[in-house]
Amino acid sequence: MLSSQRLLCSLFNVLSWLVFTSFAVAQNFFPATIPTSPLAISIEEFATIPDSSTNSPARVSVLTRDPSGRLFANDQRGPLYTINATGSTVTEYLDLRDFSALAINSGGEPGFQSFVFHPDFATPGADGFGRFYTIHSSNNTSATPDFDPGGGTSFHTLLLEWRTDDPAANTFTPANASQPFREVLRLKQPFGNHNAGLIAFNTTVGPADTDYGNLYVAVGDGGSGGDPQENGQDPSNPYGALLRIDPLGTNGINGQYGIVAENALAADGMSSTLGEIYAYGLRNPQRFGWDATTGNMYIADIGQNAVEEIDLGVNGADYGWDNREGSFSFENPSSVGFTDPVAEYDHVNLVSNLPAGVTGGRAITVGEVARGTGFPGFDGQLLLGDFPTGLIFMLDVDSDPLDGGQDGLTELQPLDSSGEPVRLLELINDARAARGLGSTSRADLRFGINTPGEVYITNKRDGIIRRLVFDASPGDFNGDGEVDADDLVIWNAQFGLSVGATVEEGDADGDFDVDGADFLRWQQQFTGSVEAASFPPANVPEPSTCGLIILGLLTISYSAPYRRK
């Protein structure tokens, strides 16, 4: 039975959560909608992962490369696949369901959450040769967990190491058939949600760096709602934290991993803090990603009811949960000692023209900072999104002050095969309809990681892996990555050209002339705020009137935008 003190504490937490919930539902922290990005980038289908079972599309969770450059993707229900360079061939590499002792639990949030290859996976003679790691939810709870936050037991989270002597093979053959995997870490999960998420190595560092070969593990706060066990603000346990461990070390709690000496909580000399922790005060940090240029890490922390946040990964940081949700008070108004988010968005009035069945933002995810795509305006954009709704957002980390709020966010609506802006949920439902499956109001968006120069988009509803295509879009006549007034100037100058016209001369529809149809394609892609100076959608102005339109557009386009925090 709970002591009076613990009972009062629990009641206080519940009441605080209820008060905040009612407050959050009525509160619009960021009244302005997130604007649409002017970048015109296409999206295409790349590969299809086999169904988990008949008419049950794969729940694709992680897509990444191994150190040799091969693409891999997993189905949260158990399989891991290799994908060839063109996406035309998908081969099963491993299936966790084939190992009965693993007892995978794949209903709802649980399942095969993530996998990653050691950076020396393909380096003969290195300690990490042939080694890769998986993390999953297991119904086999007979073993004693390495960490137990108390409460009931929904399942255990298992971090495993697998080893092969042939890392180039398309199917997994264990180096030791009698012991195909090694248990690195076992966590008890008191509730069915907020379990472990992404596992990853820092791909921005080389062998000479002290962070090379350290494994990052995202762990939720243990679940339920409002953090009833107060794990987020408890640095003595691994829940509600981002861990950093040495998977080849031996000085961890069970001798199966090492504690990284550079972790701030390992070097603080305090027995009350856990040395495995890299950062804490997190609610449900399912995803994180790096910027290959700066080395910065960005963490997506899913909010309770009101605010989604992106945090800069800092060794030893406390992001405030459950005293705060984002930069706003949750249980305690104090902000002393907390690390503020670099970007946030709320759940109300998120974007204009929401997809059918979508009421607002729900839960955040993040990929990596786009580098090396060769597409103007896209370099330096951190890819993030609202994963249930499938909305894709960007944050320009090279120019934004990274001081919180949703002011720096833009929505990316990629172009479909017809050159029309589209949202992921529309593509998913089109694909499901083509298979005779019912529509869904949930996308479960994720981004590929460790895919330099490329952006892959996955989901858990149709099994299709898509990728962004960085080519000039209809209306982007000068190829600067934006459809704007400069492109209209080009169209106006070349209007009437009837033979051999190119995109650079204003031909947006590929019929080798420059006419009113090309203007309409430009108008469809133009995303500037020019409603007052605009024109009816089907009305094509005469070239003689375009000068006035261009003058107005140029005036608006080159006005400094008003930014509000």
pLDDT of 521 reads 78
Strands (E), 459-503: 464-469
Which tokens belong to 204?
Answer: 């921005």
Which tokens belong to 548?
Answer: 């006035």
pLDDT of 315 reads 99
136-169 exposure pattern, b = at least 16 Cβ within 10 A, e = fewer: bbbeebeeebbbebeeeebbbbbbbbbbbeebee
pTM of the complete model: 0.83
Q: Which residues contact 162 (CB under 8 A, 6 or more apart)?
A: 94, 131, 132, 133, 134, 172, 174, 180, 181, 182
pLDDT of 5 reads 40
Q: Please identify every stretch of the chain with a pLDDT value under 50, giving residue numbers as ranges.
A: 1-26, 529-538, 556-565
Contact in structure between 316 and 264 (CB atoms under 8 Å): yes
Residue with tokens 């950062």: 279
pLDDT of 412 reads 95
Q: Please, what CATH class does the domain formed by 29-469 belong to?
A: mainly beta
Pairing label, strands 343-346, 307-312? antiparallel
| Per-residue model confidence as pLDDT tens digits over 112-171 | 999 999 999 999 999 999 999 999 999 999 999 999 999 999 999 999 999 999 999 999
pLDDT of 473 reads 60
pLDDT of 361 reads 80
Give the domain ranges of the chain: 29-469, 485-557
